[in-house]
Structure 1
Amino acid sequence: MAGDGRPIGVFDSGMGGLTVLRALAARLPQERFVYLGDTARLPYGTKSAETVQAYALQATRLLLGEGVKMVVIACNTASAVALAVLQEFWDPVPVIGVIEPGARAGVGATKNKRIAVLATEGTVKGGAYAQAIKQLMAEVHVIQQPCQVFVALAEEGWADTPATLATAAHYLEPLFQGPDAPDTLVLGCTHFPVLADAIRRTIGCGVALVDSAETTAVAVSEALTKGGLASAGEGGGPAIRFFATDSPERFARVGAIFLGRAIDEGDVELVDLLKS
């Protein structure tokens, strides 16, 4: 049976979603991808829900125009406020966010029913992870820890510096002390997998560390199989195409930190979502 060679669309407000793309490409090497970073309007976390929904519709309209077979929202804020809107608007195109897979993996990992979520201030205030986790396990205790500073550290590429370790200690050590400490930590921001080593050194080996990028890749793989959308590898063309709404140079430079490999500035196409 022939596979579906159309690409998978992935979008984020900026570069953090490239950690999701990295996980997707590793798990699904036969697939092609179109990645859009809305770098002109980041961060989404400070915007109203209505504004983020409008941005998300514009982003997905561009991706659908590129012929994608599925959309992955590689942004926690957009996943929290726009997933249902996009699923309804673009039905029957599958749309997958990062929060539900991360929540499901967190619930699957915890043994003492105490889960910590490390996220940006906007994601914590919105409470999307806590809500998603409690829908799966009502009796669980969720501790949310905002850590906006990690975003800047990740974008600087400071994965394992004294500043990063000090920040991790400041935010995480108080959470993981005592007999009632969480046994699971969900990385609730797509920037944070870049800092996983520093986080692990802080919390120790006894805490389950859930990477929403990895768990989203698993969810996408399952959805492709279930929907008969998996590629047989015959799609042709470049494996990844990149779009950005501002500064292809910065996208390529900073994005390489999150993707884990160099990005050629010439491979990043500048787009205007208002005209798409």
Structure 2
Amino acid sequence: MNIQQSIGVFDSGYGGLTVFKSIVRKLPKYNYIYFGDNARTPYGDHSFETIYQYTLECVEWLFAQGCPLVILACNTASAKALRSIQQNILPFKYPNHRVLGVIRPTAEIVGDFTNTKSIGVMGTRGTINSESYLMEINKFFPGIKVAQQSCPMWVPLIENDEHRSAGADYFVKKYVDQLLAKDEHIDCIVLACTHYPLLVPKIKEVLPEHISLLAQDDIVADSLALYLVNHPEIENKISKQGQQQFFTSGDPKAFDASASIFFGKQIISEHASFSK
């Protein structure tokens, strides 16, 4: 049974569950539907056009389940599909629906965490190559210098539940060192992937104490709470029974087995398919 009038949370796979976990903790009274497009992950390896099409299909699926508001809890989708959906789809096809991403909320506050005006951004190749963080941060803080570092091994380590192992130490230190070598004045690092909060303990082990670390989970949750206060026309539509549903385009059993790594407790998901 579908939960009507829910907040939709979308990711290409599991990482968005870290954001969803924080959202539920911050805003427990609302109904939610989480959808992971596991059958087609990772998105970062696809073209702009493919990522846009996949993201749009998933957003429209969540709209069909009764979600007037959808959060793209995926940096790649936020970087490569959000703006087009907001500008080219919503006004004409879904004028009463809203889609929000994870990049803008982070960019809006990053300036509050740096004294040197030099920050680092760590993410997947797709997110880094899109330069979305460079552009968004420049809008709010044009005086901040941004150095970027892609971390291609971090997501596989996390999704294979190896992020707590000694084997992960090498790749954590490798990418942190590569980033810091680009700018010795960095005093704040943005973790621009929703998987990366699971690596925070290991990152802090190799990070100089004066460098602050920003993960997106709580940032996005706080931003959503403020959005709902400022947009009662959306907030009033959301049912408030505190219900949660989980869907995946992949195998539900496989999804459930890995989801607990990100969500912190066992869940039971259902398979979702797209009607043509």
Question: Which residue of 1 is the match for residue 111 of structure 2?
Answer: 107
Residue 218 of structure 1 pairs with residue 222 of structure 2: yes
Question: Which residue of 2 is the match for residue 269 of structure 1?
Answer: 270
TM-superposed CA distance for 1:231, in Å, is 6.6
Q: What is the aligned length?
A: 267
Contact kept, 8 Å, 2:119 with 2:144, in 1: the verdict is yes
TM-superposed CA distance for 1:175, in Å, is 3.5
Name the CA shift for 1:251/1:178 in 2 (closer, same or farther; >3 Å). Answer: closer
Aligned residue runs from structure 1 range 55-70, under 5 A: 55-70=54-69
Name the CA shift for 1:138/1:25 in 2 (closer, same or farther; >3 Å). Answer: same
Cα distance in structure 2, aligned partners of 1:200 and 1:104: 23
Question: Which residue of 2 is the match for residue 28 of structure 1?
Answer: 27
Residue 51 of structure 1 pairs with residue 39 of structure 2: no
Question: Which residue of 2 is the match for residue 128 of structure 1?
Answer: 132
Residue 235 of structure 1 pairs with residue 263 of structure 2: no
The letter for the 2-side match of 1:71 is V
Unaligned runs of 5+ in 1: none
Q: Which one of the candidate residues 157, 164, 169 is aligned to 2:161?
A: 157
Cα distance in structure 1, aligned partners of 2:165 and 2:208: 17
Contact kept, 8 Å, 1:16 with 1:191, in 2: the verdict is yes
Name the CA shift for 1:251/1:179 in 2 (closer, same or farther; >3 Å). Answer: closer
> TM-score, with normalisation over the residues of structure 1?
0.90
Name the CA shift for 1:195/1:179 in 2 (closer, same or farther; >3 Å). Answer: closer
Cα distance in structure 2, aligned partners of 1:92 and 1:217: 22
Cα distance in structure 2, aligned partners of 1:179 and 1:132: 20
Cα distance in structure 1, aligned partners of 2:175 and 2:107: 21
Contact kept, 8 Å, 1:6 with 1:231, in 2: the verdict is no
Contact kept, 8 Å, 2:7 with 2:238, in 1: the verdict is no
Contact kept, 8 Å, 2:134 with 2:146, in 1: the verdict is yes
Residue 173 of structure 1 pairs with residue 172 of structure 2: no
TM-superposed CA distance for 1:118, in Å, is 0.6
Cα-to-partner distance string for 1:68-113 (whole Å, 9 max, x where unaligned): 1311001111101111222232333221101111222322211111
Unaligned runs of 5+ in 2: none
Cα distance in structure 2, aligned partners of 1:157 and 1:77: 22
Choose 221-230 or 36-45, whichever is displaced more. Answer: 221-230
Cα distance in structure 2, aligned partners of 1:203 and 1:59: 37
Residue 244 of structure 1 pairs with residue 248 of structure 2: yes
Cα-to-partner distance string for 1:176-209 (whole Å, 9 max, x where unaligned): 4699331000000111011111111111332111
Cα distance in structure 2, aligned partners of 1:174 and 1:120: 14
Question: Which residue of 2 is the match for residue 38 of structure 1?
Answer: 37
RMSD over aligned Cα atoms: 2.1
Question: Which residue of 2 is the match for residue 6 of structure 1?
Answer: 5
> TM-score, with normalisation over the residues of structure 2?
0.90
Cα distance in structure 2, aligned partners of 1:39 and 1:176: 33
Name the CA shift for 1:231/1:21 in 2 (closer, same or farther; >3 Å). Answer: farther
Aligned residue runs from structure 1 range 61-100, under 5 A: 61-88=60-87, 89-90=89-90, 91-100=95-104
Question: Which residue of 2 is the match for residue 195 of structure 1?
Answer: 199
The letter for the 1-side match of 2:130 is G
Cα distance in structure 1, aligned partners of 2:129 and 2:218: 24
